[in-house]
A and B are shown apart, each in its own frame.
Chain A
Amino acid sequence: MKCTNYLHHIIHTKAALRALLLGAFLCPVVSCTDLDEQLYSQLNNENFLKNEEEVLSALGAAYSGLRTFQKFDNMWTVYCTGDEAVVPGRTGGDWAGDGQDQQMTDHKWTVNNRFFRGSWEQFFAQVNACNRLIYQLEQLDATAYASYISEVKVVRALWYLWLIDFWGNVPIVDRFDVAQDYLPATSTRSEVFDFIESEIVGNLANLSKEKSSTTYARADYWTAQAILAKLYLNAEVYTGTAQWQKALAACNEIIGSGQFNMSNTYGENFISKNENSPEAIFAIPFDAIYTQWEWILPIVSLHYSSQQTFNITNGPWNGLSVQTDFFFLYEDADVRKEHNFLWGPQYTATGAPLLDPGYERDPAVDPDGAQIHFTPTFNSLYNTARQSGVRIKKWEIEMGGNGFPSSDFAVFRYSDILLMKAEILWRLNAADAEALALVNQIRERAGVEPFASLNAERVLNERGRELFLEGWRRSDLIRFGRYNDATVLRPYVSEPYKQLYPIPQDQIAANPNLKQNPGYN
């Protein structure tokens, strides 16, 4: 009662009004207009990179980003436009949508192709990630982190090596601190060539030559030399001027170091625990657990039912298969054939015939019934039986695993360098004895008869057989002038301008400074 009287009093003296007004006016003063954001689960520029471990975790982005090379879109971009692999449309409609998968193989792609779009975005996202790291490391301490900065520049040069090969004329972006509305312009293929060359040469001195567990899978001196070797090997394609001697010098630098050797068998390069392979010059580490879903080759390639062949815990998608022409490049005795491929009648892990409940009842399409036979041939590119196509098991598919490889993917492998050297020597002198010996060294390990002499066909296809799906077939075909040739699945010669991929229409729309490659309009 007393309280009520007191409050009554306040109201009559209008003190309440004053208090209220005071409250309202004070409010803006005491942070009632403060709109700062508070972070809980993330870091920003103010609290990131405060210790050595954080710097390392940031540097890791350059390397973890390299795994995107094996991502979904890129597998199509890298493997399907040459003669190695194909994703055919299958009866019942699987993979047979708008035909873009198949257009990779019959060279009928358009500027709206989603695989090229995805690859462009992923490749340049990695270029930018490298630019950002370089910028951040320079801001932190350019001297202390000089070797880190050089490493990242080599990784960036590797992305540009792929960019110059796929699109040729691409923008060179080497800075992170650009204006908000900066729209980079296309550079010519020659300018990109010069950029890669200078980036490698300019950073060689900062790179480690040591081979150890700390330098494994890091962009070291040998990685840089391998990039140079590839760049010079294709110099004629990229710039119009061949640079065989420079290419040879880079190969010799690697071979002469004594740091690398041929492994005893072809297969041990591709097992789960291949990180000690003496052939790996630069590898992208993968692990079935730590990098799950980042390299999905077995899942993309195997038939749905093949899950029971390997008892894997993820269901495969029945997509990527080996092209007919390529499969027949291998002799039966070639250990690489048995190692790389899965063909013929299929069985479960316990040895029972592997069945496809959705097999085609029409014997004209599938003459051998419910058991799956992977055939090297296809009914057609756009509509083929579910069992068509030889499948890929080059990198170990662990029995009972989750279907993702634990093998590391060697971007540069010693046998590749040997074959590159052989090719250069053969190009300089078609009767070069060392060239023949090098090729036969590779053939011997594969269990096939040595060649008596070399020719373009033999050099190109030995590379193909040895380096199946290691990412170089496309540039090899172009260098040998065979990229546009007719194949079983593309029974005609395609236009030479297809040797460069189109710049994605979305990118052209978003950046008017980009220029489309010739032929695409």
Chain B
Amino acid sequence: MNKNIYFSILFFVAVWFHAVPVVAQTAVSGRVTDAANEPIGGATISVQGSTMRTLSDDAGNFVLRDAAPGAVLLVSAVGYAPYEATVPSSGTLHITLSQQETLLDEIVVVGYGSMEKSKITSAITNVKAEEFNLGNINNPAQLLQGKVAGLSIVAPQGNPNGEFNIRLRGLSTLGANTQPLVIIDGVVGADLNSVDPNDIATMDVLKDGGAAAIYGTRGSSGVIIITTKTGSREHASITYNTYGAAEQMDRSLPIMSRSEYLANGGTDYGGDTDWMDAITRTAYSHVHNVSLSGGTPQFTYMGSLNYRNINGIVNRTGNEQLNGRLNLTQRAWDDRLTLNLNLSLNSRDAQLGFDDVFRSAIIMPPTAPVTSTDPEYAAYGGYFQNRAHELFNPVAIIDQNTRDQRSTRALYNLQGDLKIVDGLTASARVARTDEKIDGGSYISRYSLYGSGLDRTGLASQSAYQNQSDLFELTGNYIRRFDRLDFNLLGGYSYQQFSSQHAFTEAGNFLTDEFSYHNIAAARDFADGLAKGESFKESSKLIAFFARANLNYADTYFLSATLRREGSSRFGAGNQWGNFVGLSGGIDVSRLVSIPRVNQLKVRGSYGVTGALPEQSYLSQQIYGPGSTLTYFLFNDRFTPVYSPQSNPNPNLKWEKKEEINLGVDVGLFDSRLIATLDVYNRRTTDALIRLNVPVPPNLYPTTVLNAGELRNRGLEVSVVGDIIRRPDFSWQSRITYATNSARVISLSLGDIRYGTRDVGGLPAPLTGNVVRVQEGRPIGQMIGWIYEGVADDGSYIIRDLDNSGDINEQDFGIIGRGLPKGEFGFGNNFRYKHLDLNIFFRGVYGHDLVNLHRTMFEQVSRITTYNLIKTKHFDPAYTGPVAYNSHYVENGSFIKLDHLSLGYTIQLPARSLISSARIQLTGQNLFYITGYSGVDPEPRYSYDNNVLAPGVEPLNSWVTTRTFTLGANFTF
């Protein structure tokens, strides 16, 4: 490194770490200092078992009355380890606090165990509650957005009921699950929605194959391990957290006003309506959390109840949730036996609303009134309607129709650990997850939308039930020989899954009054037009696993993992697979002394993980009537037909992902600056994909095959610095940065060649696809004609790539990339005395988005029926029909101020009933910097449920929202 740069950095860092000494003057009954005898102000001194407490002043001095000699004092201060002292019979107490465990001493959960961060040899990121994102947060995924390099999380825009899309290190699987495996308190495969964000203590993300191999078959898309809060053996406390949030529309599409619409040739329907304004509102939400925790040396408990009342910005959307949790730990036999019991229950009532209102609000003519007394509209319940393809009055959609969902999720988890002899622990776990989702919808007899009018009212009810049962036995042996630590783990895991669903749909009602609550009142049942469906499937996963961790002198680290796992979803003979993980590291700083460097760990890992197909029975020839019965006429009667339901693939086997990860962990200045760098190369083979097969000889044109090979490469950097750490002022900064490039290497299996295939169909009236999947090329390359302007006759000028004189498919060029090149997060925490400020920026770059709204509704020729989108790209010179080309593909790169939060910890007098109180004001999505003219510049990882077609912003996308949250926390 250039010497000048080196010195500049040192100088810069030295300035950051510069501390101002404060001189102590008063002599009182106690003084708190650090190891260097510098005073610590603001330390809390309390008496164990009593509510008495006080704070040290800036000189570190404190007076505590009524503390009897022999009483235990508990001393704590931000940035320092908690300290216990006994009150002496006389004299002054000098308390020396040691600096809190450094970032490197954090405990990281590694799957079936935990380790100190300094000893980890694979890519694992640990995020603690205090680092979580702030604001109106109702989904655990939101807590992590931007916090873990390589973990991409995309919010469902402003949809309060939408699912977060989570991707780890690009796309490593096609037909299998692209969402990471979630483990809650040891329960593998739990649902992220079953835990309340308030109850989470830490989240660990296992990123590389070396770490995830212990979870074998489901580790390919990464593993997120959630540990919930537990009680303390010493402190009993009650906390109450609450916040209220106000949410407003942030980004939407600019559309024509009444006058612009008329000026461009639109029809005057006699109204003047801002449709977006008509369907949205400022949504107010409130959240309350009460938790109680505490314990004795043998027993600890944590109980928590969360209530969430969340409203969406679209009228009649939102949800109401109750989430209860009980975590109990009982120890017995001199702590040799520990029993952990976790119970959680989540109940949610949601009004899902209709995403299509956004498309309708954008394209409904601004000259149309919301309602009309003209008898022509009586059939629509008095709402104005103009029958045209996909055009509906959005206010009518919301007012007339209902779409509800009620879900309950339960998690039962009992774990017992028995220390058989010192170092040897045997554990057993039994757990069940249970999920029920009931849906109900009703489309009014007057609703043009959703065939309500055509069907004279249409009701449907659905019920989903998913259950998993887990039984695990593990044995763990820890031993130290001189300077060698070793840790052996062995185990058996048995998990069975079942899911079932039922669906009924029927129409033709006399009245709207029943909604979906009296579906038998539908005439459709007698007329043979009602629809019913029910289905059940089950599967099993069985595994044997072992892991050995070696640590020599905290300098050399080695870890080896083997999981042998079988799934019922594969063909006979292919059910079992072996998944190995191997990783090692050396802490160079222990071998060579480098000034100011206290850790320099070089590590590498190799690991194999697997992926399962998303459904059972793919290896068998399945027969049945299908989900809707097919008939043939036999002897004057329509008689059911039973036929094969798919092409079987008896050779179906594990999809495997091999990953090599190289990393460096650097700790500088007593670990006040920690940097982590990882590079990885993941190669997926035998990727499960529904591939086109020849017909003949196959019955159906697609079969799920192990045919794909994918490659993902990337780099991840994270830097955390305690830049300033002084009693009255601290500043911590975190940067994460990650890149990824995903490529399809092959999608062929022997003679069955995938070749080049276009996916991601454009909506009618357009046809054709936007993304080309091609072997050897990146995933998400967008194809289409290249726009070069508008000709004099009002048509598009398209580049004639092959100079043939004709514009046809041969002239398709690569006009965009659906997946981002990289993303970053930049967070800062400032604390000045009792004030703290948290500011977090997030950005993604290098991806393009097909702006479908513009594609479909920007052309003047559409104005006869639809309102037009008027962005900077609008060009009235073009008079042709809807057409797709590169004009509609836009760069989606953006930086946004994700959230900014200001908190104040209220000073409370000693002996007050409240032991701590805090208020906090947070703004989310405060501003964007982007050139994208659509709704949300965030990347879209799939379109039409196809992960090979990323980068399309769908027509019914929710708008983004800006939220302000005022919250308060109290501890009693």
Instruction: List A residues at the B interface (Cβ < 8 Å).
Output: 4, 7-8, 11, 14, 16-17, 20, 23-24, 27, 32-45, 48, 54, 56-58, 60-61, 63-64, 89-98, 100-101, 110, 112, 114, 120-121, 124-125, 127-129, 131-132, 171, 173, 178, 180-184, 213-214, 216-217, 285, 287, 289-292, 304-305, 307, 313-315, 357-361, 383, 402, 506-507, 509-512, 514
B909 at the interface (CB under 8 A from A): no
Question: Do the beta carbons of A128 and B695 come within 8 Å of each other?
Answer: yes
Partner pick for A37 among B616, B621, B757, B809, CB 8 A cutoff? B616
Question: Do the beta carbons of A132 and B644 come within 8 Å of each other?
Answer: yes
B265 at the interface (CB under 8 A from A): yes
B6 at the interface (CB under 8 A from A): no
B119 at the interface (CB under 8 A from A): no
Which residues of B lie under 8 Å from residue A60 when comparing CB positions?
Answer: 630-632, 634, 639-642
Pick from B601-609, B761-769, B956-964 the stretch touching chain A: B761-769
Q: Report the bound CA distance from A95 to B638 in whole Å.
A: 35
Q: Report the bound CA distance from A35 to B621 in whole Å.
A: 17
A494 to chain B, nearest CB (A): 16
Question: Do the beta carbons of B632 and A285 come within 8 Å of each other?
Answer: yes
B416 to chain A, nearest CB (A): 11
Question: Do the beta carbons of B539 and A37 come within 8 Å of each other?
Answer: yes
With contact pairs A60-B640, A97-B766, A124-B695 given, residues A183 and B751 touching in the complex (Cβ less than 8 Å): yes
A268 to chain B, nearest CB (A): 19
B804 at the interface (CB under 8 A from A): no
With contact pairs A57-B639, A506-B692 given, residues A313 and B632 touching in the complex (Cβ less than 8 Å): no
Question: Do the beta carbons of B622 and A357 come within 8 Å of each other?
Answer: no
B620 at the interface (CB under 8 A from A): yes
Question: Do the beta carbons of B538 and A38 come within 8 Å of each other?
Answer: yes
Q: Report the bound CA distance from A477 to B527 in whole Å.
A: 43
B231 to chain A, nearest CB (A): 23
Partner pick for A313 among B455, B642, B692, B764, CB 8 A cutoff? B455
Partner pick for B534 among A41, A95, A214, CB 8 A cutoff? A41
Which residues of A lie under 8 Å from residue B692 when comparing CB positions?
Answer: 506, 509-510
B665 to chain A, nearest CB (A): 36
Partner pick for A44 among B420, B622, B701, B808, CB 8 A cutoff? B622
Question: Do the beta carbons of B542 and A35 come within 8 Å of each other?
Answer: yes
B349 to chain A, nearest CB (A): 29
With contact pairs A64-B632, A112-B809, A285-B632 given, residues A41 and B696 touching in the complex (Cβ less than 8 Å): no
- Enumerate 5 A-B pairs (CB-CB under 8 Å) in ascending A order: A20-B428, A35-B575, A91-B864, A92-B882, A290-B631
User: Interface code B376-409, partner A: CB below 8 Å = 1, 0 otherwise?
Assistant: 0000000000111100000000000000000000
B269 to chain A, nearest CB (A): 9
B338 to chain A, nearest CB (A): 14
With contact pairs A7-B333, A33-B566, A178-B697 given, residues A93 and B633 touching in the complex (Cβ less than 8 Å): no
Which residues of B lie under 8 Å from residue A48 when comparing CB positions?
Answer: 623, 642
With contact pairs A94-B764, A304-B388 given, residues A361 and B642 touching in the complex (Cβ less than 8 Å): no
With contact pairs A43-B642, A61-B642, A112-B809 given, residues A511 and B881 touching in the complex (Cβ less than 8 Å): no
User: Interface code B504-527, partner A: CB below 8 Å = 1, 0 otherwise?
Assistant: 000000000000000000000001
Q: Report the bound CA distance from A314 to B701 in whole Å.
A: 29
Q: Report the bound CA distance from A360 to B635 in whole Å.
A: 51
B233 at the interface (CB under 8 A from A): no
Which residues of B lie under 8 Å from residue A315 when comparing CB positions?
Answer: 451, 454
Closest to A58 in B: B642
Which residues of B lie under 8 Å from residue A360 when comparing CB positions?
Answer: 864
Which residues of B lie under 8 Å from residue A290 when comparing CB positions?
Answer: 528, 631, 638
B351 to chain A, nearest CB (A): 27
Partner pick for A121 among B428, B633, B695, B859, CB 8 A cutoff? B695
Question: Do the beta carbons of A27 and B492 come within 8 Å of each other?
Answer: yes
A92 to chain B, nearest CB (A): 6
Question: Do the beta carbons of B699 and A94 come within 8 Å of each other?
Answer: no
A63 to chain B, nearest CB (A): 4
A274 to chain B, nearest CB (A): 13
Question: Do the beta carbons of A507 and B809 come within 8 Å of each other?
Answer: no
Question: Do the beta carbons of B764 and A97 come within 8 Å of each other?
Answer: yes
Closest to B643 in A: A61
Partner pick for B336 among A11, A112, A358, A509, CB 8 A cutoff? A11
Q: Report the bound CA distance from A58 to B643 in whole Å.
A: 6
For window 665-702 of B, CB contacts with A under 8 Å fall at 692-701
Which residues of B lie under 8 Å from residue A121 when comparing CB positions?
Answer: 695, 701
Q: A93-B881, A101-B767, A402-B529 are known; give 14 further A-B pairs, CB within 8 A.
A: A7-B333, A37-B568, A43-B622, A43-B623, A58-B642, A61-B632, A61-B643, A64-B643, A98-B768, A125-B700, A125-B701, A171-B696, A184-B697, A304-B387
For window 852-888 of B, CB contacts with A under 8 Å fall at 859, 861-862, 864-865, 881-882
Partner pick for B632 among A39, A63, A182, CB 8 A cutoff? A63
Which residues of B lie under 8 Å from residue A4 when comparing CB positions?
Answer: 332-333
Which residues of B lie under 8 Å from residue A514 when comparing CB positions?
Answer: 694
A183 to chain B, nearest CB (A): 6
Which residues of A lie under 8 Å from residue B881 when comparing CB positions?
Answer: 89, 91-93, 96, 383
A498 to chain B, nearest CB (A): 16
Closest to A512 in B: B751
Closest to A46 in B: B620
Partner pick for B333 among A11, A114, A171, A511, CB 8 A cutoff? A11
For window 523-565 of B, CB contacts with A under 8 Å fall at 527-529, 534-540, 542
Q: Tally A-B pairs: CB < 8 A.
A: 253
Q: Give chain A's interface secondary structure class.
A: loop
A215 to chain B, nearest CB (A): 9
A111 to chain B, nearest CB (A): 10
B418 at the interface (CB under 8 A from A): yes
Closest to B269 in A: A357
Determine which residue in B536, B540, B621, B631 has the highest number of CB atoms from chain A within 10 A of its CB, and name it. B631
Question: Do the beta carbons of B623 and A124 come within 8 Å of each other?
Answer: no
B726 to chain A, nearest CB (A): 51
Q: Report the bound CA distance from A169 to B386 in whole Å.
A: 50
Question: Do the beta carbons of A36 and B568 come within 8 Å of each other?
Answer: yes
User: Interface code B430-456, partner A: CB below 8 Å = 1, 0 otherwise?
Assistant: 000000000000000000000100110
Closest to B455 in A: A313
B464 at the interface (CB under 8 A from A): no
User: Interface code B736-770, partner A: CB below 8 Å = 1, 0 otherwise?
Assistant: 00000000000000111111010000101111100
Question: Do the beta carbons of A44 and B631 come within 8 Å of each other?
Answer: no
Which residues of A lie under 8 Å from residue B265 when comparing CB positions?
Answer: 361
Which residues of B lie under 8 Å from residue A37 when comparing CB positions?
Answer: 538-539, 568-569, 616-617, 619-620
Closest to A314 in B: B454
Which residues of B lie under 8 Å from residue A56 when comparing CB positions?
Answer: 634, 639
Which residues of A lie under 8 Å from residue B567 when comparing CB positions?
Answer: 35
Question: Do the beta carbons of A20 and B699 come within 8 Å of each other?
Answer: no
B193 at the interface (CB under 8 A from A): no
Q: Report the bound CA distance from A132 to B698 in whole Å.
A: 10
Please provide the 3 A-B residue pairs with the shortest distance between their CB atoms, ordered closest to farther. Answer: A97-B767, A93-B882, A60-B632
Question: Do the beta carbons of B766 and A510 come within 8 Å of each other?
Answer: no
Q: Report the bound CA distance from A213 to B568 in whole Å.
A: 47
Which residues of A lie under 8 Å from residue B623 when comparing CB positions?
Answer: 42-44, 48, 58
Question: Do the beta carbons of B494 and A32 come within 8 Å of each other?
Answer: yes
With contact pairs A41-B535, A92-B864 given, residues A128 and B640 touching in the complex (Cβ less than 8 Å): no
Question: Do the beta carbons of B420 and A16 come within 8 Å of each other?
Answer: yes
Determine which residue in B389, B535, B753 has the highest number of CB atoms from chain A within 10 A of its CB, and name it. B389
Partner pick for B454 among A45, A61, A313, A510, CB 8 A cutoff? A313
A516 to chain B, nearest CB (A): 14
With contact pairs A64-B641, A357-B386, A357-B388 given, residues A44 and B620 touching in the complex (Cβ less than 8 Å): yes
B88 at the interface (CB under 8 A from A): no
Which residues of B lie under 8 Å from residue A509 when comparing CB positions?
Answer: 692, 753-755
B645 at the interface (CB under 8 A from A): yes
A259 to chain B, nearest CB (A): 18
Question: Do the beta carbons of A64 and B420 come within 8 Å of each other?
Answer: no
Question: Do the beta carbons of A180 and B696 come within 8 Å of each other?
Answer: no
A368 to chain B, nearest CB (A): 16
Which residues of B lie under 8 Å from residue A44 when comparing CB positions?
Answer: 620-623
